[in-house]
Amino acid sequence: MLMDSLLVRASCEEFELVIAALAVEIQENSYIVNEESEKINISEGSGYLKRANTERLHEIFNQYASQEKNGERFMTSSDFVRTYLGLYTNPDYNPDSVNLLAGIVDTSKDGLISFAEFQAFEGLLCVPDALYKTAFQLFDTNGNGMVAFDEFAEVMRKTELHRRMPFNMDSSFIKLYFGKDKQRLISYAEFSQFLHDFHEEYATEAFKKFDKDGQGFISALDFQDIMLSIKSHLLTKDVRDNLVAAASTGQGGRSKVSFPYFMAFNSLLNNMELIKRIYLNATNGHRFEEVTKERFLHSAQMMSQITPLEVDILFQLCDLLHQTGKIVYSDLVALTPEQYFKQITKRLAEIKAVSSPDERGVIVQILESGYRFVLGSIGGAVGATAVYPIDLVKTRMQNQRTGSLVGELMYRNSFDCFQKVIRHEGFFGLYRGLLPQLMGVAPEKAIKLTVNDFVRDKFMDKKGNLPLYGEIISGACAGGSQVIFTNPLEIVKIRLQVAGEIAGGSKVRAWTVVKDLGLFGLYKGARACFLRDIPFSAIYFPVYAHTKARLADEGGYNNPLSLLVSGAIAGIPAAALVTPADVIKTRLQVIARRGQTTYTGLLDCAKKIYKEEGARAFWKGATGLGNLLLTRVFRSSPQFGVTLFTYELLQRLFVVDFGGTRPTGSEQKVPAIGVAEEIRSTNPDHIGGYQIALPIFTGIETKFGLCLPRFQAVEKIRK
């Protein structure tokens, strides 16, 4: 085999994603590779590897090239395969296999690899269909750009698969492609289809060979042998471990596997991505909802031609995992052939605090809270700073008394307020009171996020299902818990924000406000703060969670933009609906100037605002930019969007596994089961397209069954 058995097996479609996953830098560009007279044009779009720098690639080539001819350096087959790629490194390696693989690059077929050929292959590895093109060049042994039957048969007979399960080279399938006299030449496009169909036909031929009596049945052990030998790229660990059990269960306890069951089993595994879509269609996008066989079958018949037998096999496999008679999305992930996704976020740090969730003690949970505290404080600080000028304008608009005795209004609208602050207080006047805001945001956001996650965990069942009422209660608890930090923060911030309205007044500092208020004064208007923060969080967190789930991709992953949009969308209804409570809180916490109405409490404030200014006064700050934008919404919505965006992005960059839960959609996409890092090249000389050379050669082996012998035969070694 070309690689160790631990290497991930993936289908052709999945290996197109490998190319994207292993790209160090994905760019939109186009380039041309000269391969003698052939030019390969790479069109614009994402998913292409950035080409290697020619000078750097030449330096690397000269470093590994051991032959020199007419003043030009060349690589031998061993130089390229064993030294550069790092394959077949054992002393008793099979030289025929090494020469065959090197022949993919050696298009001139002279036994030596020139720099032009080396660079051309690097360009080929950058194209989306690199897997098929590499396989084509493996079979094009004479380098004429076509594959003849003799070339195909010669390579196939050298593979381990053919030695274990010989394929009938005189079959009607072969004649359909190469002609009845086997003289027809196949182009690259035709060969790519042939190779795909050949792999499917191989499994059918293997079934016929094991079905010696011609009754359409094979034993469960023969079924396992075929799947492991030919269809191993379709098998996850869960499927691999349950092949015999699934076959026995599916055939009514018999130890025989029928041909229809064999075909349905393979078809199911080939179409697991479609199966996922059927599940999501049945659950309206929810990934934790249990689905019965009848409900799933109904959805399957509405969407596609998935057969009832395939559905039976699906539920049989899932029953072997948890014996509930129903399926959830995580079951489908466990059965889906391994895939590689784009590495969207690179981790700057990754620490595993515990080896298993069972080791989560009190100290670990305290450390986890500290971790969330730090990230939440950073996220809150970023969010608060981003929208603070809007918050200042909102506060001054809410504090403006239309029914007061002071005189005419200071600000006509939010834009007028913004202009006057800049004119009279300068640019930094927009950030008056920012420091106490930042000091208070850290504990506020930390306790808010921690309590929400803690209560959500208590309502969540073993399968990750969380009822809506649990989400609402979790958010309400989070909003209530933050008031201990929010109220002192708000009252100091508000008094600093409105201080600039007094012309010629002395500069007010945060510590002066704190001393004037005292401990109990810092909690003035706390009931109004509860009235605002509890419903806000009860609305915000459930809306955020559901919006984020809707914007996630098919694998449940949220890209950074979807996090920002989800946070902003969730803030709109939450901020808008609690604006009256925010107006009351602001009035209670601001020092009334001479001639302005004073309030003794929550109800007194509400009554006097309604009596003196009308119901519209409760929505002050909601009519800022004309009648189009709500000032409070325009502040709160982006603030919480930026806060949650920063918080979750930091969790992706600085990963610490405490054995607990992480935000949904925040996990970096890696193979469901597999060892991505093991197929990623660690050789710094593998640049450009050569970054994916190892996965491509692995794909040839696993997808098409082209496993070449790694070692020499014992007889040859003795000779």
Q: Is the pLDDT of residue 38 over 90?
A: no
If asked whether residues 542 and 501 sit together in one domain, one would say yes
CB burial readout 214-236, b (16+ within 10 A) else e = eeebbbbebbbbbbebbbbbbbb
Instruction: Identify which has the larger pLDDT, 511 or 708.
Output: 708
If asked whether residues 163 and 61 sit together in one domain, one would say yes
Asked whether 566 and 551 are in contact (CB, 8 A), the reply is yes
Q: Is residue 161 domain-resident?
A: yes
What region does 621 belong to: left with phi over 0, alpha with psi -120 to 50, or beta? left
Instruction: Look at 172-181, 275-284, 637-646, 697-706 and tell me which has the smallest mean pLDDT.
Output: 697-706
Mean pLDDT, residues 373-394: 82
Domain with 152 in it: what CATH number? 1.10.238.10
Q: Is residue 635 domain-resident?
A: yes
Q: Is residue 224 domain-resident?
A: no
**What are 272's two structure tokens?**
């697991």
pLDDT band for 550, please (50, 70, 90 cuts): confident
Mean pLDDT, residues 679-686: 74
pLDDT at 530: 83
Asked whether 687 and 63 are in contact (CB, 8 A), the reply is no
pLDDT band for 675, please (50, 70, 90 cuts): very low
If asked whether residues 513 and 662 sit together in one domain, one would say yes
Q: Is residue 230 domain-resident?
A: no
Asked whether 30 and 51 are in contact (CB, 8 A), the reply is no
If asked whether residues 691 and 637 sit together in one domain, one would say no
Q: Is residue 104 domain-resident?
A: yes
Mean pLDDT, residues 62-66: 94
If asked whether residues 701 and 654 sit together in one domain, one would say no
Q: Is the pLDDT of residue 669 over 50?
A: no
If asked whether residues 582 and 712 sit together in one domain, one would say no
Mean pLDDT, residues 690-716: 72
- Identify any residues that bridge with 656 across adjacent strands, giving them in sequence order: 351
Q: Is residue 381 domain-resident?
A: yes
pLDDT at 402: 56
pLDDT at 429: 81
Domain with 537 in it: what CATH number? 1.50.40.10
If asked whether residues 517 and 557 sit together in one domain, one would say yes
If asked whether residues 285 and 376 sit together in one domain, one would say no
Instruction: Identify which has the larger pLDDT, 506 or 181.
Output: 181
Cβ-Cβ contacts under 8 Å for 590 (sequence gap 6 or more): 399, 494, 495, 498
Q: Is the pLDDT of residue 707 over 50?
A: yes
Q: Is the pLDDT of residue 327 over 60?
A: yes
Q: Is residue 22 domain-resident?
A: no
% pLDDT > 90, the chain: 22
Between CA 383 and CA 389, with CA 385 as vertex, the angle to 5 degrees is 115
If asked whether residues 136 and 186 sit together in one domain, one would say yes
Q: Is residue 523 domain-resident?
A: yes
Which residue, 676, 694, 675, is CA-closest to 686? 694
- Which runs of consecutive H residues, i.e. helices, occur in 140-219? 149-156, 160-164, 172-178, 188-210
What region does 557 belong to: left with phi over 0, alpha with psi -120 to 50, or beta? beta
**What are 594's two structure tokens?**
């001479």
Number of domains within the chain: 3
Q: What range does the domain containing 122 cover?
A: 51-203+683-718
Domain boundary among 318, 336, 354: 336
Q: Is the pLDDT of residue 30 over 60?
A: no
The Cα–Cα gap between 320 and 331 comes to 11
Note the pLDDT tens digit of each residue in 132-157: 899 899 999 988 999 999 999 999 88
Q: Is the pLDDT of residue 98 over 60?
A: yes
* CA distance to 403, 590, 592, per residue, from 606 (Å): 14, 15, 15
If asked whether residues 690 and 645 sit together in one domain, one would say no
Mean pLDDT, residues 493-513: 63
If asked whether residues 457 and 393 sit together in one domain, one would say yes
Q: Is the pLDDT of residue 332 over 50?
A: yes
Number of neighbours of residue 360 by Cβ within 10 angstroms:
15
pLDDT at 190: 94
The Cα–Cα gap between 505 and 500 comes to 8
Would you say the pTM of this structure is higher than 0.95? no
Note the pLDDT tens digit of each residue in 443-457: 777 788 778 877 887
Instruction: Look at 100-114, 519-533, 562-576, 703-717 and tell me which has the smallest mean pLDDT.
Output: 703-717
| Own/partner pairs, 193-200, CB within 8 angstroms, 24+ separation | 195/132, 195/135, 195/704, 196/12, 197/173, 198/173, 198/704, 199/230, 199/703, 199/704, 199/705, 200/266
If asked whether residues 332 and 386 sit together in one domain, one would say no
Instruction: Look at 115-119, 251-255, 303-307 and tell me which has the smallest mean pLDDT.
Output: 251-255
% pLDDT > 70, the chain: 76
